[in-house]
Amino acid sequence: MKIYNKKGLIAGVLWTAAGAFCLYQDAVDAHDFLPQQIKSVVLSLVMLAVGLTCLLRALSKSAIREDRIEELDERNRLVSLKTDSLTRKVMGWARVAAMVAGLLGYLFTENLVFGCLFLFAGLSITLEAVVSIAAAIHYEKRL
C-alpha cells in the first residue's frame, strides 16, 4: 500500500485513535445516565467513522486525485474566499457588539467581568488589524 496523502493519513490515525479511546472509555467507565451514555457512544462511533474514512482516502489514488481537482476548482476557491470574507465581517461586527456590551455592562454594574469582555474584544480587534496590515505589507511586496 502506498500513502498518497500524508496529512490525511495522520488525521485518519488521530481521529481513529481518539474514537477508539473514547469508545474504550465508554465501555470501561459507563455513565449511569442513559442518554449521556448513548451520546458518548454515538460520538465515539462518528469519530471512528471519520478516522477510517480519512485513512481510506489517504491510501486511495483516485480519491486523492478527486480531492486535488476539487481543491483547484476555481468556483470552489471563489466560494471559499467569499465565505471567509463574510465570516470575517460578521465576526468583526460581533466583536464590536461584545466590546460595546462589555463597556456598557461595566459602566452600569462596575462588574469586572464586563470590563474583561470589553478588554478581550478590543484586543482581538486590535490583533486582527495588526495582522491585516502585516499581511497587506507582505502581499504588496510579493505580488
pLDDT tens over the chain, length 143 residues: 788 888 889 999 999 999 999 999 988 887 778 888 889 899 999 999 999 999 999 998 888 888 888 888 899 899 999 999 999 999 999 999 999 999 999 999 999 999 999 999 999 999 999 999 999 999 999 88
Q: What is the spatial distance between Cα 24 and Cα 47, in angstroms, rounded to a whole number?
A: 13
Q: Quick one: pLDDT at residue 96? A: 95
Domain boundaries, the chain: 6-72, 74-142
Query: What is this structure's pTM?
Result: 0.58
Q: What is the DSSP letter of 59?
A: T
**Nearest residue to 119 (alpha-carbon basis) of 88, 89, 95, 87:** 95
Q: What is the spatial distance between Cα 66 and Cα 13, in angstroms, rounded to a whole number?
A: 21
Q: Quick one: pLDDT at residue 1? A: 74
